[in-house]
């Protein structure tokens, strides 16, 4: 056996032992899935942790775990955190106890589950995979090969699939992902184009700065605590702590079904209450941006979010659905501001953005909800 092969197996064994992940053996020898790796990967392997958080997605979690275990990159550990599921989830998860680290906790919310998983992982890079989503088999390998030392994360689009796993031909986001130093974009517009949770891989060095993330929220407006989803919390912080790497091709799948927000969006069953929730979510993101900027002594327009086309599109949706400040004149004013914002967008042409407007679409975290 060649020197590089022996070294690779030794490194893999050390990683799995450190991560307390069982090593597969067959006839008394270490088994590694067949693959062809560049010598650079064999000599200095980057360890990757895939953390799957689950709550009552028993019908989907097996596919998510299998997608993590099927990665062609060899130096991966898979950690599954169940957040107090009451369906068949735990029975499904236990089937993988010889191949994954399983953490069972009482229902404390997704942020708590991600915190628990991160505390137990040992990877140099960390992916948080929602239990109803999937990773392509070569996703982690591609991420590792593309990784640069100054990245806080790499992000990638996700194909949209239905509850049965059938793709509908769409991806999210529908526009080019932001990349490079996105802090100025975030500070000037309140947003940058990013992917939902499963479309991100973070550096451990970055995560160690910002985790554990708040599990009960942070002060908002009148001082009351309001929760912000973990993907938003991490993506906003990532812009301040490093450059963002982006693939513009999908490396995984986002499952749309009746129990998640995007399921309602794709089926055009979004109501006024949901739009109000998204507006509130955006305002909480703005509060977090202000707080981080303040801690770093960075100047920011306190009303920056309110001029971004995403926020304006939400306002138009609320006005169309009969919410506050409805009426033709208000809609026209908001529409004019939206067109102006679109014309300054660096991610899509004005024509393409206006198509979203005329199609009565609205975005959430930079993927589009249809009305």
Average pLDDT, the chain: 75
CATH number at residue 42: 3.90.550.10
Reply yes or no: is the peptide bond before residue 369 cis, omega within 30 of 0.
Answer: no
What is the mean predicted confidence (pLDDT) over 315-326? 61
| Cβ pair 58, 92 in contact under 8 A | yes
Residue with tokens 């915190």: 115
Band of residue 287 on the pLDDT scale cut at 50, 70, 90: confident
- Residue 20: inside a domain: yes
- Residue 288: inside a domain: yes
SS3 of 253, please? strand
Q: Out of 98-107, 192-201, 289-298, which region has the weakest mean confidence (pLDDT)? A: 289-298
Q: Out of 110-119, 120-129, 217-226, which region has the weakest mean confidence (pLDDT)? A: 217-226
pLDDT digits over 46-55, tens only? Answer: 999 999 999 9
Which of residues 98, 123, 145 is at a domain's end?
145
| Cβ pair 217, 227 in contact under 8 A | yes
Give helix then strand counts, H and E, for the chain.
14, 17
Structural domain for 347, as ranges: 267-370
- Residue 161: inside a domain: no
State pTM to two decimals: 0.74
pLDDT digits over 119-156, tens only? Answer: 999 999 999 999 999 999 999 999 999 999 999 999 99
pLDDT digits over 175-205, tens only? Answer: 899 999 999 888 877 778 999 999 999 999 9
- Residue 198: inside a domain: no
- Residue 190: inside a domain: no
- Residue 165: inside a domain: no
- Residue 209: inside a domain: no
Same domain, 2 and 141: yes
Distance CA(12)–CA(252), nearest Å, equals 25
Same domain, 139 and 272: no
Structure tokens at 83: 């957040």
Which of residues 126, 145, 164 is at a domain's end?
145
- Residue 116: inside a domain: yes
Residue with tokens 């739009």: 275
Q: Which of 371, 17, 361, 301 is nearest to 175 (CA)?
A: 361
Number of domains in the chain: 2
DSSP type of residue 361 = E
Q: Is the pLDDT of residue 57 over 80?
A: yes
Which of residues 145, 174, 199 is at a domain's end?
145
Band of residue 207 on the pLDDT scale cut at 50, 70, 90: very high
Name the residue with higher pLDDT: 27 or 227.
Answer: 227
Band of residue 44 on the pLDDT scale cut at 50, 70, 90: confident
Q: Is the pLDDT of residue 259 over 90?
A: no
Structure tokens at 159: 């194909």
């Amino acid at each position: 056996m060649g020197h590089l092969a022996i070294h690779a197996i030794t490194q893999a064994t050390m990683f799995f032992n450190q991560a307390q992940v069982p090593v597969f053996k067959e006839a008394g020898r270490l088994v590694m899935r067949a693959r062809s790796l560049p010598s650079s990967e064999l000599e200095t392997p980057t360890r990757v942790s895939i953390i799957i958080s689950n709550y009552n997605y028993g019908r989907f979690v097996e596919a998510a775990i299998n997608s993590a275990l099927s990665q062609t990159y060899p130096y991966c550990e898979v950690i599954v955190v169940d957040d107090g599921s009451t369906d068949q989830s735990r029975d499904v998860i236990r089937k993988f106890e010889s191949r994954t680290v399983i953490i069972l906790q009482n229902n404390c919310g997704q942020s708590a589950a991600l915190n628990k998983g991160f505390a137990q992982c040992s990877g140099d890079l960390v992916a948080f995979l929602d239990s109803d989503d999937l990773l392509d088999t070569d996703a982690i390998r591609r991420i590792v090969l593309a990784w640069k030392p100054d990245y806080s994360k790499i992000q990638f689009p996700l194909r949209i699939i239905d509850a049965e796993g059938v793709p509908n031909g769409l991806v999210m986001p529908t526009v080019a992902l932001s990349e490079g130093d996105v802090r100025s974009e975030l500070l000037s517009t309140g947003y940058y184009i990013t992917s939902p949770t499963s479309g991100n891989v973070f550096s451990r060095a970055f995560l160690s700065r910002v985790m554990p993330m708040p599990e009960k929220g942070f002060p908002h407006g009148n001082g009351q605590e309001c929760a912000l989803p973990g993907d938003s919390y991490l993506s906003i912080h990532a812009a301040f702590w490093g450059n963002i790497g982006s693939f513009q091709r999908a490396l995984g799948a986002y499952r749309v079904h009746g129990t998640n927000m995007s399921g309602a969006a794709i089926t055009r069953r979004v109501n006024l209450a949901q739009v109000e929730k998204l507006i509130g979510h955006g305002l909480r993101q703005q509060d977090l941006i202000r707080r981080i900027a303040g801690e770093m002594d960075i100047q920011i327009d306190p009303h920056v979010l309110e001029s971004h086309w995403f926020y304006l599109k939400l306002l138009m949706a609320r006005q169309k659905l009969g919410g506050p400040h409805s009426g033709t004149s208000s809609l026209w004013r908001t529409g004019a501001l939206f067109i102006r914002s679109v014309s300054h967008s660096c991610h899509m042409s004005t024509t393409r953005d206006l198509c979203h407007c005329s199609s009565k679409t609205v975005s959430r975290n930079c993927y589009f909800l249809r009305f």
